Amino acid sequence: MFRLRLFSKGLIYLILIIYSILVFIPLSILALNSFKDLREIFQKPFSLPSYFRVENYIVAWKQANLTRAYLNSFSVSIVSVLGVLLISSMIAYILARYDFPFRRILYLYIISGLALPARLAIIPIYLLLRDAALLDTRMGLMLVYMATRIPFSVFILKHFMEAVPVEIEDSARIDGASPWKIYSLIMLPLSRSALVVVAIFVFVGIWNDFFFPLILIDSRSKETIPLAISVFFGEYGHQWDLLSTALWLAIFPVIIIFFIMSKQFIKGMTQGAIK
């Protein structure tokens, strides 16, 4: 029995090590190529650069106008994440704690969005935003992201909130707490780990999304990071040196945010696995 546990633990560690290597290798190659010129990337794509060309970052930043793109991506991502967390947590709390007619049907209707890719509805979405005069606006893009991320968020948060003991809320009601106070002062703090998990998943998905900004945004001044990076893709060739630099600049904030919130993220994922 002891040997079986030891073997299982060793196998798990081996799988995690292999997975970490598979993730680390592309990131390291991308980071190294961001300091090379185009010729060196083709000749020695997996070696250290002969000279660390820091000017690649300056050229890529200016050519893609990443200052504007960063501001657009951060504003769209953060506002969308906050909107998703607020709306999804309220819906999840109602579904988890209140019993009313057609509650299960409503829940199934909401999470049915997980089975249907939002990109299939791009024509109705485009027409709705056009009629509402929200095309080529950051607000229109935020509303699309909120609507498409709510099903996943409700699915995660509802199960976490159901695991919170009802006795805590009963005690608060006896003390005279209103439903809003119970939701905001008790349920949200107790669901903090789940909120962090949802926030990271939603933020990364929005930050990396290229499809919706490509269709819904026309102005260069409102481009997000993925759209801004597309400037390095040409009809007859690609600027791989500047593209590698811009890609590294695009994923670096996500890596930093994940490391800052990794403790809460792992805690939330672990709680979900135990449940």
User: What CATH number was assigned to the domain covering residues 64-274?
Assistant: 1.10.3720.10
Give residue 74's pLDDT: 93
pTM of the model: 0.85
Mean pLDDT, to the nearest integer, of 122-139?
Answer: 92
Predicted confidence band of residue 269 (pLDDT cuts 50, 70, 90): low
Give residue 52's pLDDT: 86
Contacts of residue 145, defined as CB under 8 A and 6 or more positions apart, other chains included, come to: 76, 80, 84, 202, 206, 209, 212
Mean pLDDT, to the nearest integer, of 145-165?
Answer: 90
Mean pLDDT, to the nearest integer, of 115-129?
Answer: 88
- pLDDT of 273 strictly over 50: no
Tell me if 229 sits within 8 A of 64, measured CB to CB.
yes
In tens, the pLDDT along 61-115 reads 988 888 999 999 999 999 999 999 999 999 999 998 888 888 889 898 888 888 8
C-alpha distances in Å from residue 47, one per residue of 2, 19, 29, 30, 185: 44, 22, 8, 11, 54
Mean pLDDT, to the nearest integer, of 204-230?
Answer: 90
**CA gap 146, 245 in Å, rounded:** 30
The domains of the chain are located at 64-274
From 156, 122, 138, select the one nearest 79 (Cα to Cα).
138
Give residue 237's pLDDT: 60
